């Protein structure tokens, strides 16, 4: 039976692992390579490397970091996010050892490149990454570069339901970095129904995780710092009685 | 078995880096093959793959690798296909239109369901009394939208996804295919690939 996933999220800025608060403040927490090795060793289901300072300055993907990660022996599926502008860049990242890409800017500005990328790596390789806010009970997308809220246009909604994207990472901007605060309204009020969602941002408590895993739309949970400051935290999450039916047992790397 | 030489086909489609790392981790000699001559020097070939069937087969043609792979297989040498690489072992695929595959194991590759992908960790259910039974009910990582409709006699294990029984391992004498990614299935993946390479070299 297919299980839901715990996606360990490593936010990276200027080559360092960082904790963010409400998508603005950053606090350095360590070396992303060490965090990556730990998440792999502890048996995380997928690991998302989210490089948060690339698109804003049109720097493209962080190939330096990708090369460093390539040199490690990581046996866990890897997702890359940050600065992917073209299908060629995306395909190169996959060739360097990543399995999937989480994209944001391409969704809004480069539909043709997104179509090409999906043709090359398959829809299963592409996750739409959407920072979201709840404004007067409406779910809106937060453009973190222009720092403004926008409604999902018909074009974007159409792209989300076509065969070019497999899942959507929904980031709770207002509760990013918070404790036990992810707003479940972002799931059931999401403007397009029937899609597979991965909530992220403010998810820290195991019973909160159980509640979120119950949603049929939820295919996995993105967890940040809550995972990598305590060595056995992932196992605790997976062994929590209400989570067992949804999650694969965590297996430490031998 | 010492000094096993594993040829990894580089045809521009897919995650070469991870499979390479795993082969080296297993203390086997890695040979990257991107032209026909390379197949002469290896004991076993792995066909990796991520992406689009039509594009992958086109790439194999462009690099003049199809004939050499067919010759390698026809001489009884072992081949392992991973994910898209497993699908390429089929008769044909209907991804992006109809495209002929290598036809090493008969069957077609079709969409699971439009807009639906099989992503994540799923268990495999092995047919009784085969080499892979120790992996029965173990979890492996899947990431695909098309699947191989192989005949039952070639299906070593299947995995339940929605209303489908997806062939997760297929086998016919010197040809083996994994729909999941052993290189991204942590400890289970390392063990199954190690066991499979040694099994194929012993019995083929």
**Close Cβ partners of B61 (under 8 Å, ≥ 6 residues apart):** none
The residues with which A47 forms a beta bridge, in sequence order, are A8, A78
C-alpha distance from A149 to closest chain B C-alpha (Å): 28
Percent of chain B predicted with pLDDT > 90:
83
Determine contact: A90 vs chain B, CB below 8 A. Answer: no
Give the least confident one: A101-105, A199-203, B32-36, B188-192: B32-36
Residues of A in contact with B120 (CB under 8 A): 2-5, 45, 219-220
Q: What is the pLDDT of residue B1?
A: 57
Q: What is the pLDDT of residues A123-155, one digit of tens each?
A: 999 999 999 999 988 999 999 888 899 999 999
Q: What is the pLDDT of residue B2?
A: 65
Q: Are A75 and B115 an interchain contact pair (Cβ–Cβ within 8 Å)?
A: no
pTM of the entire structure? 0.96
Q: What is the pLDDT of residue A242?
A: 78
Q: Among this protein's residues, is B181 annotated catalytic? A: yes
Tell me how far apart the alpha carbons of residues B162 and B179 are, in angstroms, rounded to a whole number.
16
What is the overall mean pLDDT for chain A? Answer: 92
DSSP string for residues in chain A: -PPBEEEEEEEEETTEEEEEETTTEEEEEE-HHHHHHHHHHHT-SEEEEEETTSGGGT----HHHHHHHHTS---S-EEEES---SHHHHHHHHHTT--EEEESHHHHH-HHHHHHHHHHH-GGGEEEEEEEEEETTEEEEEETTTTEEEPPPHHHHHHHHSTT--EEEEEESTTTT-SS---THHHHT-SS-S--EEEESS---HHHHHHHHTSTTB-EEEE-HHHHTSTTHHHHHHHSGGGTTTBPPP----
Determine contact: A155 vs chain B, CB below 8 A. Answer: no
One of B67, B71, B83, B128 is an active-site residue; which one? B83
- Contact B89/B177 with Cβ under 8 angstroms? yes
Q: DSSP state, B98?
A: -
**Mean local confidence (pLDDT), A33-55:** 94
Q: What is the pLDDT of residue A250?
A: 79
Q: Are B186 and A121 an interchain contact pair (Cβ–Cβ within 8 Å)?
A: no
Determine contact: B139 vs chain A, CB below 8 A. Answer: yes
Measured in degrees and rounded to the nearest 5, phi and psi for residue B143 equal -160, 80
Q: Are B120 and A96 an interchain contact pair (Cβ–Cβ within 8 Å)?
A: no
* The token pair that represents B79 in the structure block: 């081949």
- Give ∠ CA B5-B6-B8 in degrees, rounded to 5: 145
pLDDT greater than 80 at residue B46:
yes
**Mean local confidence (pLDDT), B143-170:** 96
- Contact A13/A54 with Cβ under 8 angstroms? no
Identify the residue with better confidence: A223 or B35: A223
Residues of A in contact with B143 (CB under 8 A): 77, 99-100, 124-125
How would residue A178 be classed by pLDDT, with cut points 50, 70 and 90? confident
Q: What is the pLDDT of residues B69-122, one digit of tens each?
A: 999 999 999 999 999 999 999 999 999 899 999 999 999 999 999 889 999 999
CA-based nearest residue to A101, from A37, A44, A55:
A55
* The token pair that represents A145 in the structure block: 């570069």
Tell me how far apart the alpha carbons of residues A228 and A10 are, in angstroms, rounded to a whole number.
9
Residues of B in contact with A219 (CB under 8 A): 119-120
- Contact B86/B193 with Cβ under 8 angstroms? no
Percent of chain B predicted with pLDDT > 70:
99
DSSP string for residues in A106-151: HHHH-HHHHHHHHHHH-GGGEEEEEEEEEETTEEEEEETTTTEEEP
One of B118, B144, B154, B181 is an active-site residue; which one? B181
**Close Cβ partners of B111 (under 8 Å, ≥ 6 residues apart):** B94, B95, B145, B146
Q: Among this protein's residues, is B204 annotated catalytic? A: no
Residues of B in contact with A75 (CB under 8 A): 22, 183-187, 189-190
Length of chain B: 204
**Mean local confidence (pLDDT), B153-164:** 95
Residue from the list A76, A121, A122 with its beta carbon closest to the beta carbon of B184: A76
CA-based nearest residue to B101, from B83, B89, B109, B86:
B89
CA-based nearest residue to A164, from A127, A131, A199, A130:
A127
pLDDT greater than 70 at residue B60:
yes
Q: What is the pLDDT of residue A162?
A: 87
């Amino acid at each position: 039976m297919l299980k839901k996933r715990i996606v360990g999220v490593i936010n990276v800025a200027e080559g360092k692992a960082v904790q963010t608060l409400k998508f603005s403040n950053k606090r350095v927490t360590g070396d992303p390579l060490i965090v990556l090795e730990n998440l792999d060793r502890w048996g995380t289901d997928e690991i998302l490397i989210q490089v948060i300072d690339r698109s804003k300055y049109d720097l493209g993907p962080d190939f330096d970091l990708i090369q460093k990660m390539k040199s490690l022996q990581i046996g866990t599926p890897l997702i890359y996010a940050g600065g992917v502008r073209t299908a060629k860049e995306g395909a190169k990242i996959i060739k360097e050892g990543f399995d999937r890409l989480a994209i944001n800017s391409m969704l809004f500005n480069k539909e043709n490149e997104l179509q090409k990328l999906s043709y090359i790596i398959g829809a299963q390789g592409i996750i739409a990454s959407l920072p979201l806010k709840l404004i007067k009970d409406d779910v809106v997308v937060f453009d973190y570069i222009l720092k403004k809220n926008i409604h999902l246009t018909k074009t974007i909604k159409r792209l989300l339901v076509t065969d070019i994207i497999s899942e959507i990472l929904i980031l709770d901007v207002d509760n990013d970095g918070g404790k036990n605060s992810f707003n479940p309204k972002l799931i059931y009020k999401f403007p397009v129904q029937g899609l597979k969602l991965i909530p992220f941002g403010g998810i820290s408590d195991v019973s909160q995780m159980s509640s979120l895993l119950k949603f049929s739309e939820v295919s996995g949970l993105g967890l940040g710092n809550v995972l990598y400051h305590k060595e056995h935290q992932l196992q605790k999450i997976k062994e929590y009685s209400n989570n067992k039916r949804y999650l694969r047992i965590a297996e430490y790397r031998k | 078995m010492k000094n096993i030489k594993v040829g990894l086909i580089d045809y521009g489609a897919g995650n070469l880096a991870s499979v390479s790392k795993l082969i080296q981790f297993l203390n086997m000699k890695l040979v990257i093959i991107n032209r026909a001559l390379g197949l002469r020097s290896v004991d076993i070939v792995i066909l990796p793959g991520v992406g689009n069937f039509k594009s992958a087969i086109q790439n194999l043609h462009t690099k003049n690798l199809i004939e050499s792979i067919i010759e390698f297989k026809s001489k009884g040498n072992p081949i392992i296909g991973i994910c898209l690489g497993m699908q390429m072992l089929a008769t044909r695929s209907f991804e992006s239109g109809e495209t002929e595959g290598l036809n090493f194991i008969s069957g077609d590759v079709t969409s699971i369901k439009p807009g639906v992908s099989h992503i994540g960790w799923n268990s495999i259910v092995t047919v009784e009394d085969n080499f892979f039974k120790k992996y029965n009910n173990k979890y492996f990582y899947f990431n695909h939208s098309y699947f191989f409709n192989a005949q039952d006699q070639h299906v070593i294990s299947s995995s339940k996804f929605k209303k489908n029984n997806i062939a997760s391992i297929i086998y016919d004498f010197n040809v083996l295919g994994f729909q999941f990614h052993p290189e991204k299935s942590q400890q289970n993946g390392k063990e199954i690939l190690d066991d499979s390479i040694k099994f194929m070299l012993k019995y083929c």
